[in-house]
């Protein structure tokens, strides 16, 4: 994320489902919840900031996974 992006703890992170031409497409459809921002790591000398995100799912406890495929 850029330093001036409006991001704060508690924000929900979702997939964007972007497509930039025919060669560059997101692997995931738009609107899938990834997790929740718990902290932001900002450095004065960096152009970007880093978000610490708690996953929406506890991947250690997953028993079944649905694969979403689009044509």
For residue range 49-60, list pLDDT tens digits in order.
888 999 998 888
In a domain, 30, yes or no: yes
Strands (E), 5-45: 12-14, 19-20, 24-25, 33-41
Structural domain of 46: 12-56
Q: Which of 61, 37, 62, 59 shows the shortest CA–CA distance to 50? A: 37
Name residue, tokens 């406890």: 61
Is 69 within a domain? Answer: no
Band the pLDDT of 71: cuts 50, 70, 90: low
For residue 3, tell me if it sits in a domain.
Answer: no
Average pLDDT, the chain: 82
Whether 24 is covered by a domain: the verdict is yes
Whether 21 is in a domain gets the answer yes
Report which of 35, 45, 36, 32 is spatially closest to residue 8, judged by C-alpha positions: 36
Answer whether residue 6 is part of any domain: no
Question: Does the global pTM surpass 0.75?
Answer: no
Q: How many domains does the chain have?
A: 1
């Amino acid at each position: 994320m850029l330093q001036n992006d409006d991001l704060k703890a508690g924000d929900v992170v979702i997939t964007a489902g972007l497509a930039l031409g025919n060669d560059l497409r997101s692997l995931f459809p738009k609107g899938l919840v990834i997790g929740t921002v718990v902290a932001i790591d900002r450095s004065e000398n960096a152009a970007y900031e880093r978000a610490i995100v708690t996953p929406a799912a506890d991947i250690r406890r997953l028993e079944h996974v649905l694969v979403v495929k689009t044509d």
